Amino acid sequence: MKLTQFKTKISDDKRLGMLKGGVIVDITEIAPDMLSLINQGSSALFAADNLTPRSAYALDAVEYLPAVDAGKVVAIGRNYHDHAVEGGNEPPKSPLLFTKFTNALAGHNAKVTLHAISGQVDFEAEMAVVIGKRASKVSEANALKYVFGYAPLNDVSARDLQFSDGQWVRGKSLDGFCPIGPFITTSDEIADPQALKIEGVLNGEVMQSSNTKMMIFGVAYLIHYISQAITLEPGDVIATGTPEGVGVFRKPPVLLKDGDVFEVAIESLGALQNQFVAPPKD
């Protein structure tokens, strides 16, 4: 099942939708938003799948919202060997955690502002894991039972802020710097989250191409590791890291500029696309 949050062109009300038959079926009568649906559990998913829809929308007829209103985003740095190496770093011995604040959340097709505070904005194609139930000190063997679903995510990064601050939170958390969506694909549709092709495409050119099997730390271990110290709540997001090919380490660097379009395409999950625009002039 593929699920999304959206607005229509005639209303600012948040709607909940399910992809079915090539259109977005409105399932808001089942739950008002993604987090409510997650909290209701499998019974709500069953009801949504068997709903006789009152309305449906073409894929290009809606305004996509962030796929989930996450309580927190736990991100993983240098989780692909080749990405660690391209930045001149040793692959980490344990997961490298940071956070992206929720003001950074953005939806599919949203225009993301290139903030004037940074001159080095970069892209990072990633797979997001959406937590389905409260996870505290879970075992690696049981960890995937806590997953609600998966989605494409762009860990947009202000590299000059990231590198100069000595820690990453500010450079990773500028407004709009965490697009996620367009859909969350429920975990029952993904037999193995460590077997999905992932690409980052800039203006039609493939910049990043890898597979989630190349992660140093897989999804199950990440949930286990994080939950030993940090309780994961329903709707929380884990951004699982990006493969090699980011812009800042290219020679010469390829950084995002006004008008650029970046796409995160993941096998079985779909494609997240955003245009980047210059900040408004004073």
- Per-residue tens of pLDDT for the chain, all 282 residues: 999 999 998 889 999 999 999 999 999 999 999 999 999 999 999 999 999 989 999 999 999 999 999 999 999 999 999 999 999 999 999 999 999 999 999 999 999 999 999 999 999 999 999 999 999 999 999 999 999 999 999 999 999 999 999 999 999 999 999 999 999 999 999 999 999 999 999 999 999 999 999 999 999 999 999 999 999 999 999 999 999 999 999 999 999 999 999 999 999 999 999 999 999 887
* 200: CB partners within 8 A, 6+ apart: 123, 124, 125, 206, 207, 208, 209, 242, 243, 245, 246, 262, 263, 264, 265
- The beta-carbon contacts of 35-42 under 8 Å, at least 24 apart in sequence, are 35/68, 35/69, 35/234, 35/235, 37/3, 38/68, 38/130, 38/132, 38/148, 38/234, 38/235, 39/234, 39/235, 41/133
The gap from C-alpha 96 to its chain's centroid, in whole angstroms, comes to 18
pLDDT of residue 1: 98
Query: Whole-model pTM?
Result: 0.98
Q: What is the largest CA-CA distance in the chain?
A: 55
DSSP 54: S
Report the first-to-last Cα separation within the chain, whole angstroms: 45
pLDDT of residue 210: 98
CA–CA dist 150, 130 (Å, integer): 6
Residue found under tokens 């380490």: 249
pLDDT of residue 156: 98
pLDDT of residue 281: 85
CA–CA dist 230, 226 (Å, integer): 6
Q: Are 109 and 64 in contact (CB under 8 A)?
A: yes
* 199: CB partners within 8 A, 6+ apart: 125, 206, 208, 209, 210, 263, 264, 265, 266
Backbone φ and ψ for 45, nearest 5 degrees, come out as: -65, -40
pLDDT of residue 20: 96
Here the tokens at position 241 are 């890291």
DSSP 116: T
CA–CA dist 105, 181 (Å, integer): 10
pLDDT of residue 28: 97
Q: Are 70 and 235 in contact (CB under 8 A)?
A: yes
* 60: CB partners within 8 A, 6+ apart: none
**Other Cβ atoms closer than 10 A to 213:** 12
Burial of 102 (0-12, 13-18, 19+ CB in 10 A): middle
